[in-house]
Amino acid sequence: MIRLTTRENGFAEAFARIVADRRESDSGVAGDVTEILADVRARGDAALADYTARFDGHTLDTEADWRIAPADCKAAFDALAPDLRAALELAASRIAAYHAAQKPENRDATDAQGVRLGAIWRPVDAAGLYVPGGRAAYPSSLLMNAIPAKVAGVERLVVVTPTPRGQVNALVLAAAHLAGVDEIWRVGGAHAVGALAYGTDRIQPVDVITGPGNAYVAEAKRQLFGVVGIDMVAGPSEILVIADGANDPVWIAADLLSQAEHDPVAQSILITDDADFADAVIAAVESELTMLATQATARASWDNYGVVIVVDDLATDAPALANALAAEHVEIATDDPQAIFDTIRHAGSAFLGRHTPEAIGDYVAGPNHVLPTGRRARFASGLSVLDFMKRTSFLQLDAAALAAIGPAAVALADAEGLPAHGRSVSVRLGQ
């Protein structure tokens, strides 16, 4: 864990190194993924079967080996303990309500020159969702990806998920039933992403692929962007907590570890203006770690990538540091969090006040927890309904409207040396 103070010599250089540290996969992954995708494109289902046997120890022979039936998902949902079913239903309803408000409106208007112009929004035909297995089997992520797609109006929703040695996560199946997933295929990894993009004899291609995964999945999505749409290329999780000394250090330590337990290369950063509070949080992290079943992962993350920064004044100093970090999650635990939030331009999602832990956003608050990492919050946003929709603009002119604006189009076409463009307008103007 790194502890820094803005007053110390060398702070700017040390902080710059933290900002520049991507904590993402090495270039060797890219070559492997390129080979896998080419193999899937060439051999289709046969390649999927080979990779699934090799990586997951699962043989794809019968239809049940390939695909999880909707009846199995319903059975998993029905078998949930009542309190867990209620929690899943609460999460789903709040996610749906939040994302329904994101749906854009169509535009159709006629301007002063008589030109009708506007735009219409339509959903993509099919979306593919990657749902991790193994270390990260999260029903919450399935809801966060599937529900916006359904709200957008996507007709075909396809999930791919690895089932190591044939094992499935019952809660993921229950979430799939609740979200209305249409197909679930028992394949994962870069080869599953390739199948969604290119299609195989069994799996029909989709238009957009979303969902978290390991370095190979992220790299496959990056390479396939353009063949399909993607949500983002996500890296390891990260949290930035801006907290004053009035907080309970145990609360803040728990918040930092909530992301550290995700991945050994996740990053948790605290910015505070109270050196004694910083000491207390560091001590609380050590205590909290001993109680975590995920201690090994969280310990590796905290020891190797944890950062505590002591500043002179939170309101003055923290926003500039936060904007440079452009973190996935930003908690602001102060009496007036809005004042600091108003000056933060780059954050995937913000959590305001002492009683708003980031983890509440992971599950039941409503906003999406699929967020940009690795400083991508400078130019990217979290997953939304818009990731599953596209906009088509339209125009309609009558003779009078063309006469009003057509000559300018002809002049510009001629200036660009494109006479056929100009001719297609001028011929209608009788020129």
The pLDDT, as a whole number, for residue 26 is 65
How is the chain split into domains, by residue range?
Answer: 2-24+235-365, 28-113+129-230, 397-429
Q: Are strands 156-160 and 107-110 parallel, antiparallel or unpaired?
A: unpaired
Mean per-residue pLDDT of the chain: 96
Residue 419 — very low, low, confident or very high, per pLDDT cuts 50/70/90?
very high
If you count them, how many residues does the chain have? Answer: 431
Fold matches, 2-24+235-365 and 28-113+129-230: yes
**Candidates 177, 329, 346, 369; catalytic one:** 329
**Candidates 183, 261, 288, 328; catalytic one:** 328
Residue 27 — very low, low, confident or very high, per pLDDT cuts 50/70/90?
low
Q: Within the chain, how many helices (H) and strands (E) appear?
A: 18, 14
Residue 277 — very low, low, confident or very high, per pLDDT cuts 50/70/90?
very high
Instruction: Give the SS3 label for residue 126.
Output: strand
| DSSP-assigned letters across all residues of 65-89 | HHB--HHHHHHHHHTS-HHHHHHHH
Render pLDDT for 380-411 as a digit per residue (tens, 0 to 9): 999 999 999 999 999 999 999 999 999 999 99
Element spanning 110, H or E: strand 107-110
Is 262 an active-site residue?
no
Residue 24 — very low, low, confident or very high, per pLDDT cuts 50/70/90?
confident
The CATH code that applies to domain 2-24+235-365 is 3.40.50.1980
Give yes or no for residue 25 having a pLDDT over 80: no
The pLDDT, as a whole number, for residue 133 is 80
Give yes or no for residue 198 having a pLDDT over 90: yes
CA dist 232 and 382 (Å) reads 9
The pLDDT, as a whole number, for residue 28 is 81
Lowest mean pLDDT among 22-31, 52-61, 62-71: 22-31
The pLDDT, as a whole number, for residue 134 is 60
Q: Does domain 28-113+129-230 bear CATH number 3.40.50.1980?
A: yes
Q: How many CA atoms lie within 13 A of 206 on its CB side?
A: 31
Q: What is the mean pLDDT of residues 174-182?
A: 97
Q: What is the mean pLDDT of residues 114-139?
A: 90
Residue 209 — very low, low, confident or very high, per pLDDT cuts 50/70/90?
very high
The pLDDT, as a whole number, for residue 311 is 98
Q: What are the CB-based long-range contacts (under 8 Å, 24+) for 31-34?
A: 32/190, 32/216, 33/190, 33/216, 33/219, 33/220, 33/223, 34/223
Element spanning 411, H or E: helix 399-415
The pLDDT, as a whole number, for residue 281 is 98
Give yes or no for residue 23 having a pLDDT over 90: no
Is 328 an active-site residue?
yes
Residue 271 — very low, low, confident or very high, per pLDDT cuts 50/70/90?
very high
